[in-house]
């Protein structure tokens, strides 16, 4: 089957926040979600009760649109006041830690088509140690500038706004199931050429973020690796004939080199990937017609501070909102996500493998891909992995049924064979 890779024109900014400082950004995050909840695809209505799958999952009453928006607005105002009070008590160190200032926006006034497109994609991710927010650079400037200035005044130099802009590659596969190998195949030549990448797996598609200033180089690399530009599909690259034997041999060699480089970095910097066996997660998505409700529920959880260790929300289109939620039905229901509001099977539990990257430079390449590649090459069974790249950490998520094999691989990485 063929793969299609859509190269978006939207410039994205990335913000990394330590988990213990997320409260400083609650107001702008809620503003972002309030804007997102107001976007709906024309003609897409709510599902009828008969269209929803029956399930014995716990139910949770839903707030009305008016009460949800009112509550979100109240929390936004409260958080803004709190942030201002903190800022007023701080010392102005704005000449220091310039890397937390919002990145510049190129060509702020662009075509209306670009403006329409850039209002769609956003990503919000929480892990035990970090929060990452990704949205269009224009929205980023409008929404997060004030909170970043507060962080400058308080000398919070561990709050990091990436100093470059990114664009995203969305990978479609025509029903192909081996997503893990497909993503590694796509990104391996990019990592080999020193291009920083962020991996984001969603329920609907796989996403790879690349620096905007490397766009031409990425196009050149992909076209040299049997991808062709298609005007008909609007900047999609379509994989052509199967690679010949010599190309496959080259891939095997480069895969081994990438794995060895990653493991050497782990050893040199004391990095030990850790499987969080007790943190069972579910990669799912909002049902059609329930995207607005899902965003509002997430906003209420963020505003109240009621958040699990892992929570991810990724919007790739008006109708598609991917979610990573607790694997426990009770915990999901407490957040407002009963099984009538999400899609997929509640039995498809995944476990996170956390990689602490704080000891490494932000623009180091191939870390998540290197670990994932070693797992795939070491386990006999086919493993469908998901990925979550943060600025200071990385997460590879594996199906629960593959725990035994993967645990052996991680153990050999940390302590030797």
The confidence score (pLDDT) of residue 96 equals 31
Per-residue pLDDT tens over the stretch 369-384: 889 999 998 997 789 9
Lowest mean pLDDT: which of 65-69, 289-293, 389-393?
A: 65-69
Phi then psi for residue 54, to 5 deg, are -80, 140
pTM: 0.82
Q: Pick the residue with more confidence: 230 or 219?
A: 219
Lowest mean pLDDT: which of 50-59, 201-210, 230-239, 279-288?
A: 50-59
Q: Smallest Cα–Cα separation from 398: which of 344, 358, 328, 349?
A: 349
* pLDDT band, residue 95 (cuts 50/70/90): very low
Per-residue pLDDT tens over the stretch 21-39: 999 999 999 999 999 998 8
d(CA 371, CA 292): 36
Handedness of CA 392, 202, 302, 345 (dihedral sign): negative
* pLDDT band, residue 282 (cuts 50/70/90): very high
Domain range list for the chain: 4-38+118-232+275-415
- pLDDT for 41 beyond 90: no
Residues in the chain: 417
The confidence score (pLDDT) of residue 395 equals 95
Calculate mean pLDDT across residues 61-67: 44
Percent of the chain beyond pLDDT 70? 71
- pLDDT for 73 beyond 60: no
- Which CATH class, in words, describes the domain spanning 4-38+118-232+275-415? alpha beta
The confidence score (pLDDT) of residue 2 equals 54
Q: What is the mean pLDDT of the chain?
A: 79
Tokens describing residue 126 = 């929480």
Could you identify the residue written with the tokens 């991917």?
A: 322
The confidence score (pLDDT) of residue 291 equals 94
- pLDDT for 89 beyond 80: no
Calculate mean pLDDT across residues 4-26: 91
Which residues in 6-16 are b (16+ Cβ under 10 Å) and which e?
A: bbbbbbbbbbb
Q: How many CB atoms lie within 10 A of CB 361?
A: 8
Tokens describing residue 336 = 């407002």
Phi then psi for residue 10, to 5 deg, are -70, 125
Q: Pick the residue with more confidence: 104 or 414?
A: 414
The confidence score (pLDDT) of residue 178 equals 61
- pLDDT for 388 beyond 90: yes
Residue 406 vs residues 310, 357, 378, 394, 413: alpha-carbon distances, Å:
20, 20, 8, 16, 11
The confidence score (pLDDT) of residue 84 equals 52
Calculate mean pLDDT across residues 356-365: 82
d(CA 28, CA 124): 12
């Amino acid at each position: 089957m063929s793969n299609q890779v859509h190269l978006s024109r939207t410039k994205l900014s990335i913000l990394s926040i330590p988990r213990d400082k997320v409260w400083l950004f609650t107001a702008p995050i809620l503003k972002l979600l309030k804007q997102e909840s107001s976007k709906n695809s024309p003609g897409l209505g709510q599902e009828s009760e008969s269209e929803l799958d029956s399930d014995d999952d716990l139910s949770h009453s839903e707030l009305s649109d008016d009460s949800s928006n009112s509550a979100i607005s109240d929390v936004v105002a409260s958080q803004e006041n709190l942030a201002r009070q903190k800022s007023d008590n701080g010392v102005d160190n704005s000449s220091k830690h310039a890397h937390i200032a919002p990145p510049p926006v190129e060509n702020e006034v662009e075509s209306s088509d670009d403006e329409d497109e850039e209002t769609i994609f956003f990503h919000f991710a929480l892990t035990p140690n970090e929060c990452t927010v990704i949205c269009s650079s224009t929205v980023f400037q409008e929404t997060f500038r004030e909170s970043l200035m507060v962080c400058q005044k308080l000398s919070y130099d561990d709050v990091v706004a990436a100093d470059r802009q990114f664009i995203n590659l969305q990978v479609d596969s025509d029903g192909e199931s081996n997503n893990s190998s497909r993503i590694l195949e796509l990104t391996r030549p990019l990592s080999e050429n020193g291009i920083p990448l962020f991996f984001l797996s969603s329920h609907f598609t796989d996403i790879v973020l690349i620096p905007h200033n490397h766009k031409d180089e990425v196009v050149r690399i992909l076209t040299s690796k049997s991808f062709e530009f298609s005007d008909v599909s609007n900047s999609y690259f379509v994989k052509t004939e199967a690679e010949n034997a010599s190309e496959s041999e080259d891939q095997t060699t480069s895969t081994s080199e990438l794995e060895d480089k990653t493991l050497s970095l782990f050893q040199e910097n004391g990095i030990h990937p850790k499987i969080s066996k007790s943190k069972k997660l579910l990669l799912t998505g909002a049902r059609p017609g329930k995207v607005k409700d899902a965003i509002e529920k997430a906003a209420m959880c963020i505003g109240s501070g009621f958040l699990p260790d892992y929570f991810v929300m990724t919007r790739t289109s008006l109708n598609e909102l991917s979610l990573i939620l607790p694997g426990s039905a009770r915990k999901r229901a407490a957040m407002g996500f009963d099984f009538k509001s999400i899609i997929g099977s509640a039995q498809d539990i995944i476990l996170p493998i956390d990689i602490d990257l704080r000891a490494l430079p932000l623009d180091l390449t191939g870390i998540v891909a290197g670990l994932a590649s070693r797992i795939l090459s070491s386990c006999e069974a086919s493993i469908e992995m998901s990925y979550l790249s943060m600025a200071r950490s990385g997460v590879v998520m594996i199906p629960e049924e593959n725990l035994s094999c993967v645990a052996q691989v991680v153990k050999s990485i940390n302590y030797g064979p």
